[in-house]
Structure 1
Amino acid sequence: MGNFNNKWFRAVLPALFIHCSIGTVYCWSLFKGDIAAYIGKSVGEVEWAFSIAIFVLGMSAAFGGKFVEKDIHKSSLLAAIFFVVGMVGTGFFIYQKSLIGIYISYGIVMGIGLGIGYLTPVKTLMLWFDKQKGLATGFAVAGFGLAKVIASPLMEKLLGERNNEGMLINAANIYTMFYILAGIYLVMMLIGHLTLKKPIGYEEVSVQTGGFSYRKVLRNKTFIGIWLMFYINITCGLALISQEKGILAYIGFGAIGFVSSLTAIFNAGGRLALSSWADRLQDRNSIYKIIFISSIASILLTIVLDGINNSIPFLIIALLCIVNAGYGGGFSSLPPLLSDRFGLHSISTVHGLALSAWALAGLTGNQLSAFILDKTGSYTIVLYVIMAFFVIATLISIFVVKPDKVFLHSEESNVKEEMAAG
């Protein structure tokens, strides 16, 4: 096994298998209408299953970080079990036409698998890629972003043909699809579980870790600043991304499918490129300044050119691509930034706590733009509000998340010393 005991086989490959499986949660929009039609409920009612899943993802990561820290083999197996059981359960409850069952299986059970699975490979990647932590986390989180691109054609194939009204010809395909996917993702996640391994020499030291203080981290000014930055970036990203199709239709741009694929590529590309770029910067927090300022600049340019009403389609598409790249890059740049500020010792726990921002943003991002459109009917007002939030995030990045504010546990220093001695 000597040839296989390397960072690509023990960290990157398993991370991609796990994240490319759980990332399919973002394929929800492909079949939510079919679920609603089959069980006889409105799309709005069914939509809550996705919101619950993202909320539970963030909260299970927040509370499961310490468990992941202790044993990545147990956590990767647990993630596979919860995710696959949730997927099978979703198929079963669609067949039973039970909305509550779908909320429980897709929202809660799958959501737990998402949160634990999202966290599990991150620390291992950073241990293997000690000098390129951003590149490492970029691999995993890019897998999460690319999952939609990879899985969408398969799902469309499994759902089968549609009639002229867009309804499935074989309605039973909606629940059988979940059973087939559950089998595929069980194999993928088990491969990830079996191959994921920390570098030799780390396990023995990390077993002795302890003394983590939730209170100290949660009350730490730097952590609060990073949490708020991350929350605002996701909220703004979701507020704009959720209106992507509506904006393009409003300006009369027909190739919506092309733009959707293009922004998905920027989303995934931003996850890898921006976090890798951060590896070469003196302070990783600078990448967030770049994300926020580029988003502000692109929004400002669009507004100056008479808002969305008379803007050139190219500018709108560029804006959507820039915000998508920053949205993805914000996810992949988070673990290395936290590692720099809080040390690698308890990174899974600290990262998990920070992901609670994702849970709340999942509930507020889409609703923010929907609320503004309901009250004003103006996409330009949506841009003004998003830009204002990005300005706040920039100020937090400059004045709160400072380079000199480093919070390391004494145990972290001990671990490093022991590893250096070993």
Structure 2
Amino acid sequence: MGRLENKWMRAVLPALLIHCSIGTVYCWSLFKNDIASYIGKPIGEVEWAFSLAIFVLGMSAAFGGRFVEKDIHKSSLLAALFFVVGMAGTGFFIYQKSLIGIYISYGIVMGIGLGIGYLTPVKTLMLWFWKQKGLATGFAVAGFGLAKVIASPLMEYLLGERNNEGMLVHTANVYTMFYMLAGIYLVMMVIGHVLLKKPAGFEEENVQSQSFSYKKVLTNKTFIGIWLMFYINITCGLALISQEKGILAFIGFGAIGLVSSLTAVFNAGGRLMFSSLGDRLQDRNTVYKMIFISSIAALFATIVLDGIQQSSAILIILLLCVVNAGYGGGFSSLPPLLSDRFSLNSISTVHGLALSAWAIAGLSGNQLSALILEKTHSYDVVLYVIMALFTVATFISMFVVKPDKVFLESEEVDRGKEMVASKVFSK
């Protein structure tokens, strides 16, 4: 057992197992049309299952942070149960052709598993990697981004052959796929649950977490600023990413699947690169300035060349890769930034509250670009709006999110824990 007591086996591996499982929520586009066709409902109505899942993810994280803070073993097991039951239930209700059932199983039940599962490994990783918190969260959140790359080929295989119209030859594969995936992810998440463990000297906190003040956090200007720029980054990312396929088709680029895989790699790579870069910077908020400014530069370059229709395919793909990388980097850089401002002691709770921005952005991001296209029929207008929002986020990062630590009373507690950690890790 002594060989298991290290940061790779007790933090990185379980985090990847959990996040590579729940991250498959982003594979929704692969089978949503098949679900709509099988149950005989419009794709627009079926689409709400995904939006609901992201909303419940954010809200369950917001309200479940204290629970995760108290016991990571219970929270990791609960995440596995909700996620697997939700996935298996989705298969059952597809078979029953019940749209309401799909909303409940995929949107609510699985959404709760997503939120609790997303939070659970993060603090444990930062405790094991106490000198490289950004790298630690990058590992976990990169797993969430890579899930789509890993799971997509498996899902395509399980769905089976398609005819010339793109319809499944064996329609029963739609719901049987969910049953099989539920079994696979049950094994992965339970192994993650068993392996996940905080380092010695970091048992579940009690005194500090009991004195946590929701009001003090939610009314704090720094937290509000972080929440807003995180929300804008997700909204802008979803607004562009959701139109990825349409933009590529509009410019006549055929290898859409290849670009989708490429942007997914940039999404995952950005999660690891930006968060680990933050470990080398004096203020992690600088990472967000880099994300916003690089996205603005890529958008501006495309607009200057007379918009999407006149721009080269290479420039469009570069734009999609840059925004995807920043989208992922915004997620992985959030926990260490909050830890720097509000201390590591209550990070699960504060991180959960900040993830409520994801819940709201999950409802507004896709709809923003869809509404603009409905009114203007122009992808260029979408780019202008996204660039304007990124500009607002840059100003928030520069003038609202200050580099000062907010909860200085917790600083001595964190320092004491770091001294314990240094003794543990030096062995």
Q: Give, as a single letter, the amino acid of the residue that structure 2 aligns with 1:358.
A: W
Q: Is the 8 A contact 2:343 2:410 kept in 1?
A: no
**2:246 matches 1:281:** no
Who is 2:77 aligned against? 77
Distance 1:112 1:217 in 2: 23
Identical residues among aligned pairs (%)? 80
Describe the SS at the equivalent of 2:171: coil
Q: Give, as a single letter, the amino acid of the residue that structure 2 aligns with 1:319.
A: L
Who is 1:260 aligned against? 260
The Cα of 1:362 is off from its aligned counterpart by 0.4
Who is 2:58 aligned against? 58
Distance 2:411 2:197 in 1: 21
Describe the SS at the equivalent of 1:202: coil
Distance 1:418 1:334 in 2: 21
Who is 2:318 aligned against? 318
Who is 1:410 aligned against? 409
**2:377 matches 1:377:** yes
Q: Say if 1:387 and 1:2 are closer, same or farther in 2 by CA, change over 3 A.
A: same
**2:297 matches 1:297:** yes
For 1:305-336, what per-residue CA distance to the aligned partner results, in whole angstroms no more than 9, with x for missing partners?
11112111111111110000000000000000
The Cα of 1:413 is off from its aligned counterpart by 2.7
Distance 1:305 1:173 in 2: 45
Q: Give, as a single letter, the amino acid of the residue that structure 2 aligns with 1:286.
A: T
Q: Give, as a single letter, the amino acid of the residue that structure 1 aligns with 2:412.
A: S
Who is 2:154 aligned against? 154
Distance 2:164 2:292 in 1: 43
Please show how residues 30-45 of structure 1 align to structure 2 within 5 Å: 30-45=30-45
For 1:252-291, what per-residue CA distance to the aligned partner results, in whole angstroms no more than 9, with x for missing partners?
1121111111111100100001111111011000000000
Q: Give, as a single letter, the amino acid of the residue that structure 2 aligns with 1:403.
A: P
Who is 1:247 aligned against? 247
Who is 1:144 aligned against? 144
> Aligned-residue CA RMSD in angstroms?
1.2
For 1:74-122, what per-residue CA distance to the aligned partner results, in whole angstroms no more than 9, with x for missing partners?
0000000000010111111111111100000000000000000000000
Deviates further, 159-168 or 60-69: 159-168
Distance 1:194 1:412 in 2: 31
**2:326 matches 1:350:** no
Distance 2:418 2:338 in 1: 21
The Cα of 1:372 is off from its aligned counterpart by 0.7
Please show how residues 196-235 of structure 1 align to structure 2 within 5 Å: 196-203=196-203, 206-209=205-208, 210-235=210-235
Describe the SS at the equivalent of 1:203: coil
Q: Give, as a single letter, the amino acid of the residue that structure 2 aligns with 1:413.
A: E
Q: Say if 1:129 and 1:418 are closer, same or farther in 2 by CA, change over 3 A.
A: closer
Distance 1:280 1:243 in 2: 34
The Cα of 1:412 is off from its aligned counterpart by 5.1
Unaligned runs of 5+ in 1: none
Unaligned runs of 5+ in 2: none
The Cα of 1:191 is off from its aligned counterpart by 0.4
Tell me the matched-pair count.
420
Who is 2:14 aligned against? 14
Q: Give, as a single letter, the amino acid of the residue that structure 2 aligns with 1:246.
A: G
Q: Is the 8 A contact 1:235 1:365 kept in 2?
A: yes
Q: Give, as a single letter, the amino acid of the residue that structure 2 aligns with 1:54.
A: I
Distance 2:272 2:73 in 1: 25
The Cα of 1:417 is off from its aligned counterpart by 3.4
Who is 2:335 aligned against? 335
The Cα of 1:414 is off from its aligned counterpart by 3.5
The Cα of 1:411 is off from its aligned counterpart by 4.6
The Cα of 1:377 is off from its aligned counterpart by 0.8
